[in-house]
Amino acid sequence: MAQFVKPNLLGTKKEFTNRFVNPISNGQHIDSTPDDVDLMKKRAYVLYKSLDGCS
């Protein structure tokens, strides 16, 4: 839906996956490293702020 409201806001599907999906997913596992968890939190925040004005 974000692509419909603000085209190219999150990049292509591949860019979105590399920038957000993979880091967020990697930081959610029981055996994630502290660096993975830190990156997950940063990427989730960036995604949240990027989508803040879309509703």
Residues 11-21: tens digit of each pLDDT: 899 999 999 99
Residue 50 has pLDDT above 80, yes or no: yes
Residue 37 has pLDDT above 80, yes or no: yes
Q: CA-CA distance, 53 to 25, in Å (whole number)?
A: 24
DSSP structure class, residue 53? G
Number of domains in the chain: 1
Enclosing domain of residue 36: 2-54
Single-letter residue type at 23 = P
pTM of the predicted model as reported, rounded to 2 decimal places: 0.83
